[in-house]
Structure 1
Amino acid sequence: MDADQAEANAEHGLDAHPGDDLAPLDAVIAERDEWKDRALRVAAEMENLKRRSEAQQNDARAFAIQRFARDLLGVSDNLERALMAAPNDSEGAAAGLVTGLEMTHKALLQAFESNGLKRVAPQAGDAFDPHFHQAMMEQPSDTVPGGAVLQTMQAGFELFGRTVRPAMVVVAAKGSGAQAANPYAAAPAAGQAFDGKA
């Protein structure tokens, strides 16, 4: 190796014998690995951002009608009240009006259902679910265990699993439903009629 080459190597921090000192090469490899790691992290972050954005867009599309649906629930409630208040005679104009109201209410509920808005109307004895039910009052009951739904005062609605309006319910008071709560209550003797009391 001539003197000029040796001098150039010395200027750039390279040893006269290339195999002797690999520190500069190790530094370049470490820097390359650091940049590769950064690039992978940025790519992963972009993928997560893309997934979050898609989920938010799907939610926005699914729940865009939530306010509109909530406004229409009042229309459904009024139709139900009109049906309950309508006379039960099967003649004349009143029968035609009731039939028309029933058909309108049924069509409205079908429109709700086809757009993902489902009616929530728990039956007596169903478990109380605070996500979909709102307890309006508590009453003692002989037939329903304590804490369960006793009666639905107003149906609720959910949109794709999200509560738009909770069902307003009456809940059985604690200690209700003695038969269900006490499995050791005396059974009636053979041939004796069961009167519902323990």
Structure 2
Amino acid sequence: MHAEENKNGAGTEAPHPDEATQAAPDPQVESAPADEAVRLKEQVSQLKDQLLRALAETENVRRRAERDREEASKFAVGKFARDMVSVADNLRRALEAVLPEQRSADSALENLMVGIEATERQLSAALERAGIQRMEALGQPFDPNFHQVMFEVENSGKPGGTIVQVLQDGYTISGRLLREAMVGVAKRDGSEAPGHLDTHA
């Protein structure tokens, strides 16, 4: 009889419910750790990108601040520099106001002129140390970026637009225009190419 039961399978025990659950694991449970790993990986990538952006922005801010500090240091003396070149103008006018024969005829005047010349040289050296340079304008072509034309001169024998007289020297500070030169230029004749001069006569 037992043989018949085993043959027909009537004597086989049914699997326990817990054992059936273990035998067929839930696919959602298995995929949960994988999904979490992907999410964490994406989060790490985002944080890394944000960090790199923050570092780049910090470096840009540092460079801008350094550049602004250099610019402020370089050009903060602009007004003072313009005042000093005005002093240089007055010294030059004083020297040009006295004729050579007047100097040679009066020893006191000669001594005064020698003192003014020495002061002018010292001032010029101080300006150069501060990055302030006088521009050579005489004989140069007119450049509206650096020159202000006060008048035109006819029959100068120079090509039109050439600076033939300097009324006031121009200066630069650290390569940047501090004060434009006031000049007179040769007038163009009919045979020369037309050109525009910004005259302020």
TM-score under structure 2 length normalisation? 0.73
Amino acid at match of 1:122: A
Q: 1:117 to 1:22 in 2, by over 3 A?
A: same
Percent of aligned pairs sharing the same letter: 36
Number of residue pairs the alignment of both structures matches: 168
Output aligned runs, 1:86-105, within 5 Å: 86-89=98-101, 90-91=104-105, 92-105=107-120
3-state SS of the aligned residue for 2:38?
Answer: helix
Q: 1:30 to 1:106 in 2, by over 3 A?
A: same
| Equivalent pair of 2:152/2:185 in contact (CA under 8 Å) | yes
Take 1:85 and 1:108, find their aligned partners in 2: how far apart are those partners? Answer: 19
Take 1:129 and 1:151, find their aligned partners in 2: how far apart are those partners? Answer: 14
CA RMSD of the aligned region, Å? 2.7
Take 2:90 and 2:148, find their aligned partners in 1: how far apart are those partners? Answer: 20
| Equivalent pair of 2:156/2:186 in contact (CA under 8 Å) | no
2:85 counterpart residue number: 73
Query: 1:122 is matched with which residue: 137, 143, 154?
Result: 137
Greater relative contact order (Cα < 8 A, sep 6+)? 2
1:168 counterpart residue number: 182
Please tell me whether residue 55 in structure 1 is matched to residue 67 in structure 2: yes
1:64 counterpart residue number: 76
2:152 counterpart residue number: 138
Bigger mean CA offset, 45-54 vs 71-80: 71-80
3-state SS of the aligned residue for 1:145?
Answer: coil
Distance apart, 1:83 and its partner CA: 0.7
Please tell me whether residue 111 in structure 1 is matched to residue 126 in structure 2: yes
Bigger Rg, structure 1 or 2: 2
Distance apart, 1:142 and its partner CA: 4.9
Moved segments of 4+, more than 4 Å: none
Q: Quick check: which one's helix share is greater?
A: 2
Amino acid at match of 2:57: E
What stretches of structure 1 of length at least 5 have no aligned partner? 183-198
